[in-house]
Every structure is written in C-alpha cells, then in structure tokens.
Chain A
Amino acid sequence: MKQFGKILKFELKYYFKNKVFVGVTIFLVLLISVLMFLPRIVDVFSGNESKDTVAEEGGESPVLLVKAASPEEAETVKGLFETAFSGYDVQITEDSEWDIQEEILSESAECAFVFKNLTSYTYYVDNLSMYDSNTDIADSVLQNLYRMNKMIESGMSEEQAGEIIAVQIENNSVSLGKDQMQNYWYTYIMIFALYMVILLYGQMIATNVATEKSSRAMELLITSAKPVSMMFGKVIASCLAGFVQLIAVFGSAILFYTINKEQWADNMIVQSIFDMPVSLLAYMLIFFVLGFFIYAFLYGAIGSTASKLEDINTSVMPITMLFIIAFMVVMFSLASGNVDNALMKVCSYVPFTSSMAMFTRIAMSTVPWYEILISVAILIGSVAGIGVISAKIYRVGVLLYGTTPKIGSILKAVWRA
C-alpha cells in the first residue's frame, strides 16, 4: 500500500510535469473560453448594427424569381410568396427557363419557381442545401391556395374557406420519462469526452509501460515493486490526470457559461447542455471511472508485451478496435433515438461497452434502478478481475524481450504464473 502511494505520486508527477499534457490542457481551456465568450465577442465586433439587422437585410434580400403561365397567376403567386418568404425579394420574370438558370448561376438571383400551372412547378437553385425548406413552404402555400379556390368554387364564402384553412391545432407534449431533445446534446458530449479520454490516456499508459521496458528501467522496477502496485499506481495516476483535465475543461466551460449566460439565452442547444441534472453528472463520474479502468488496464498489459515503442501501435490495435466498435454502436443508437434496442441492452451489461451504453440509456431513457445496479456491479467486478489479470500479464510481459509474443503464449504463461 505504501509502495502504491509512492508509485501513484511518481506517475502523477509525470503527467503534471509533462509539457504536452499541460500545454494541451491550457489550450483546451483557452478554446472553451473563446467559444463561451463568442456571442459577446461577436457583439463587440458588430457593435450596435446588430439591433437593426432587419432594416439592413431589407435592402440586400436575395432575389426569388417567379415565372408563371399567365400574368394573373404570377401576380397571385407573388402576393402569396411575399408573405411566405419574408426574407426574399420576390420578383416576377418573363425570361426563358434557360435565362433564369443563367441568372441563378451568375448569382443575380438566388432561386426561382417556374410554374407549369398552380399545382406544378420546377424549383431552381444553385446548390440545394440540406436545410432548404423553400419547396416545403411553397407547397403549403400552393396547397392552401388550391383548397381555398376549390372551396370557393363549391359555394363556400371566402371567409368560411379562410377559417377552415387557418385552423390551428394546439399541442402540448409532456414527457413522463426523459426528454430526448433536451438530453441529446449533453449525452453526445459526454460520450465523446469519454471516448477521447480513454483512447488518449490508454495510449499514454501503453507507451509509458513500453518506455520503461525498452529503457530497461523495468529490470529495476520489477525487482523493487509488486506488479499489482505498479499497474494500479499507473492506471489510477492516469485516471486522476484525466480527471483533472476534464474538470479543467468542463469547469472552465461552466464558469464561462455562467458569466455569459445572457448572451446564450436564445441558444437552446447550449442551454440544454448546461442544464444537465446533477444526478446524471454523478452517473457520468461512475461510468467514466469504471470504463476508464477497464481499458487502461488492458492498454497497460498490452504495453508490457511490446519490446519496442514502434510495436505499440500495432499491439494496441485490437483493444482500440473493440473500443471504437463500442463507441459506434452507442453513437448510432443515440442518433436513431432508440437507445433501448436489444443491442444496447446487451451492451449495457458487457463490461467493455457498458460504461458508454448504460450511461446513454440512463441519460436518454428510463432504466430501472436494478439494471443500473447490475451493470455497475459487473463493471466493478470486471475492473478488479481485469486489473489483477493485467498485472499478471505485466509481470510476465515485461521480462519478455525480442519479438512481440503471441496472445496464446502470454495467456499460457499468465495461467502458470
């Protein structure tokens, strides 16, 4: 235990005296602070102009061209479009379709609606953006127009028809479980942070162990300290270092957000991120630490079997792949919105994936407490098991020089040890 404390202290010093580690942390904090102050910075640069953007936009609105079969139709459409597309300067054109295309390509107009009749048109635009909703708006305007005309034709008064068309449905959704819309972004950020930290620190541990081996400092270490103390000392030190880094980044994010809260008031995504419930933060902590340990032990064990630093990248590949697959499963489930699918349920008990999968399920849906408890229990058991096994691999691995041994022969040696 005394030995473990000394190893922990020595390894922690390694991180906090490491220029790269300190540099990256400072860089991340600066980046976060710039991001969080962004609205304020934008305000300063644009000065008071931001307040009369509407007036300014009026002068420079993009041009939307309308070409119809008859001048009457063109006028009707123009009238309706001017209200529907408030940001555009709606203009009627008599040019040929060819000329219209030219105008759009030369950027003198942004887009154009060419009507065959009032229920059929071609929409021209330079680059069709993923978020272009102009055709949706036009469709609903034209549908309303068509319905209105038909209703009037069948003998209704204009008022009656207008009422029918203008009817608004009131809706009010109440989520009894989790609000996925609100939780999506911070779950996403947390899973991503977990992913980055585990990959980065895992590699760091593997490199650290392999460096000791290749510099032969191992010859002394292995005769001075117990492998279990070495392994746990290294892993816990890197976990603490990772933690300090995360706290620095997230802490400064929260701090700077609080300072700039007003500026962010109209950004729903940012607001939802910082309105994260504390209970979820606690879960994050638990799953972060346990998930981190599982992979850190594996990376440490793998590092001990490599003889040269150059071998590290290929040696850690299987673990990295395992981890990336786990990450992908969680990310796809998160994006699909169905986080309680069968695969995710299985993944939330498998120790290699459960830290991410179970956390996502807790954040995005409602998981019964006993499921969480079972998952955490399996994780804790696995951490202890994998910790001891990797310490054994470490003890066998560090004394093996020459070619990187096969997994089978290592396991055999570990079994006998």
Chain B
Amino acid sequence: MILELRNIEKSFGSKQVLTGVSFKAEGGKAFGLLGRNGAGKTTSIRILMNVFPADSGEVFIDGKPVDYSRVQIGYLPEERGLYPKKIIADQLAYFAELKGMSHKAAVKSVDGWLERLGMAEYRNKRLDTLSKGNQQKIQLVTALAHNPDIIILDEPFSGLDPVNAMLLKDVVKEQIAENKVVLFSSHQMSYIEEFCDSIAILNSGRVVLSGELHDIKRSYVRDRLIVRTEYPQKMKNDFGAECTELDNGSLLIRLASADEKQGMMKRLVDNYDIDEVKVFEPSLNDIFVEYAGGGAEKEDRQ
C-alpha cells in the first residue's frame, strides 16, 4: 500500500497553514514526518485522517483518491487522552468498535493487545488509577486494536521509560513487518533515524526536504572523513587546519574534493595506526537543524 498526499493547501482564516504539501509513505516501511512546533504536522495528519478537508489537493491510496470507508487508520495523538473515569477495557473496545469492529472482535483484540503490552492486570481498572507511562501504553492500544492499514504515531516515545520504549520499538517493528504504512511524527531524531526509511521535513507549512533518508544523506558532498585512532596528535600535526577533533575524540578530515576520498583512505590506513575510517554523513539531527531551523516557531494550533 502506498499513501500519498499531493499538493495539499490549507488555511485557517487568513493564515496559510499548508502550502503545496506532498509526500509519499509506503507499506512495509516507516515514514518520518518532521518539523518544528507549528510547522503543520498535526494539520497534515488531520487532513490525512479526514478530520477536516483540504482547501485543495488530495490524498491518494495506491494511486486512487482515498475512500475512507475502506481504509483503516490508527492514530496515536500527540495530545494523549481517553476517558479518565471509565474502565480501560470498556473504552478501548468502544474505540475499536467505532472503527468498525464488532463488539466481540473488539474485546478480543483489546485483550490481546493488553496482554502483549503487559497491561492485562489493569483491564478492569479506571484509567486515572494508572501511572503516566502505563496510560501511554493504553493509548497505544487505541491506535492498534482495530488492525489498521495505516498507523500514525505522533511523538510515540515521549514519556516512556527505556524498557517501555523498547517494547514500543518491538511493536512498531512488527507492524512494519506486517507491511503496514507507519507514519512517525517526532522531535526525537534518534528514533526517527532508527526506524524511518524516508522522511519529509515541514517548515512553515511547506515540505522543504523529502525522500529516502539514505539518499538524502548520500546527497551531501562526500568530502569529509571520520577517523578513529589511538594517536590523534600525530595526525593533527601532519594535517594541520584540515583536521579537527570532534567531541567524541574522533578526527574529521576535510578533503579538497570528494574525488580524493579513496586515495586519502589508502594513505591513512598505510601510514597511521587507524581503528576506523569512514566517510562523514550528516546525522538526521544536523539535517533537521539545517532545513527546519529557519522558520519562526509558532505555537498556535488549529
């Protein structure tokens, strides 16, 4: 399954929120939708989920305009919240039923997920008796219980301890393996980098960068090398200004052009005691700051 947004425009009043937003997410891969606060991520997601229509542009599934009665979407909103005073299993089943499941199937699926997330003992408790992290896990069930084709996770890792984060990672990997479209929206670049094959960066309602993360990284001029060695001082003396030491103790060597890369690697391995040498690729964090840093931060949401 391929989910595609084409040329989405949206304005609230006189404020243009999205301008020609297009991106494409494929089944069996995770997609990262990045952007600073107020860049238009939540608005894009809401249009994608048909909460309100776009002013122009369309959402496509496998090349055809989306039919919301046929496609199932699971959503973990950034603003977490369920009914605090209601029994957990009851409300989870209710949400699954709203998505079209029969009562029996909904209860069965909810119980399965509670078991999977280690929450089965809380099934008949009220939501507000749980800790924040456990409430997060309950919320995750609402996004997954109805077995959706598309899963949208908005800041899924915020508020989770490392053990629960690991559990969530496993669950997400399972979902990706089941060939589902998984769409991440997050500020935690390390997670995006770990999961997402392709990304789109939004800045002030425009897609400023999109594509395969691998290709994006490759597109940077490969004229820098990272070297790890036990004796950095010798290299520093030899290379002078071309060599800088990074925070982690590795050395970064600048080349005159990318063509010299092969020759330089050979020279380094032959002449120095080298533990590791590789071409420098910018981290997602670097890319994000470069592309998303420009827009003014706007907190106002619609």
**Which of B75, B80, B95 has a CB less than 8 Å from the CB of A216?**
B80
Closest to B152 in A: A223
**Interface pair A225/B82, CB less than 8 Å apart:** no
**Interface pair A215/B81, CB less than 8 Å apart:** yes
User: Is the CB of A401 closer than 8 A to any CB of chain B?
Assistant: yes
* Range, interface on chain B: 20 to 34
Chain A residues near B49: list those with CB within 8 A. 223
Chain A residues near B84: list those with CB within 8 A. 215
**Interface pair A217/B51, CB less than 8 Å apart:** no
**Interface pair B82/A215, CB less than 8 Å apart:** yes
Q: What per-residue 1/0 map shows which CB atoms of B203-221 lie under 8 Å from chain A?
A: 0000000000000000000
CB of B56, distance to nearest CB on chain A (Å): 14
Chain B residues near A222: list those with CB within 8 A. 51
**Interface pair B99/A224, CB less than 8 Å apart:** yes
Chain B residues near A3: list those with CB within 8 A. 98, 100
Cα distance, A217 to B128, chains bound together (Å) = 13
Cα distance, A219 to B143, chains bound together (Å) = 12
- Give how many A residues have a beta carbon under 8 Å from the other chain's beta carbons: 24
**Interface pair A217/B302, CB less than 8 Å apart:** no
Q: What per-residue 1/0 map shows which CB atoms of B160-197 lie under 8 Å from chain A?
A: 00000000000000000000000000000000000000
User: Is the CB of B44 closer than 8 A to any CB of chain A?
Assistant: no
**Interface pair B79/A216, CB less than 8 Å apart:** yes
**Interface pair B81/A223, CB less than 8 Å apart:** no
User: Is the CB of B52 closer than 8 A to any CB of chain A?
Assistant: yes
User: Is the CB of A51 closer than 8 A to any CB of chain B?
Assistant: no
Q: What per-residue 1/0 map shows which CB atoms of B83-102 lie under 8 Å from chain A?
A: 11000000000110111100
Chain B residues near A215: list those with CB within 8 A. 81-84
Chain B residues near A217: list those with CB within 8 A. 81-83
CB of B73, distance to nearest CB on chain A (Å): 7
**Which of B51, B94, B95 has a CB less than 8 Å from the CB of A399?**
B51
Cα distance, A194 to B99, chains bound together (Å) = 36
CB of B111, distance to nearest CB on chain A (Å): 18
Cα distance, A218 to B80, chains bound together (Å) = 10
**Which of B12, B75, B94, B100 has a CB less than 8 Å from the CB of A223?**
B75
Cα distance, A399 to B73, chains bound together (Å) = 19
Chain B residues near A74: list those with CB within 8 A. none
Residues A1-26 near B (CB distance < 8 A):
2-3, 6-7, 10
CB of B266, distance to nearest CB on chain A (Å): 56
CB of A400, distance to nearest CB on chain B (Å): 8
Cα distance, A399 to B84, chains bound together (Å) = 19
Cα distance, A356 to B254, chains bound together (Å) = 85
Cα distance, A154 to B268, chains bound together (Å) = 151
Enumerate 21 A-B pairs (CB-CB under 8 Å) in ascending A order. Answer: A3-B98, A6-B94, A7-B98, A10-B94, A215-B81, A215-B82, A215-B84, A216-B77, A216-B79, A216-B81, A217-B82, A219-B81, A220-B95, A223-B46, A223-B49, A399-B46, A399-B51, A400-B302, A413-B12, A413-B13, A417-B52
Which residues of A pack against B, CB within 8 Å?
2-3, 6-7, 10, 212, 215-225, 395, 399-401, 412-413, 417
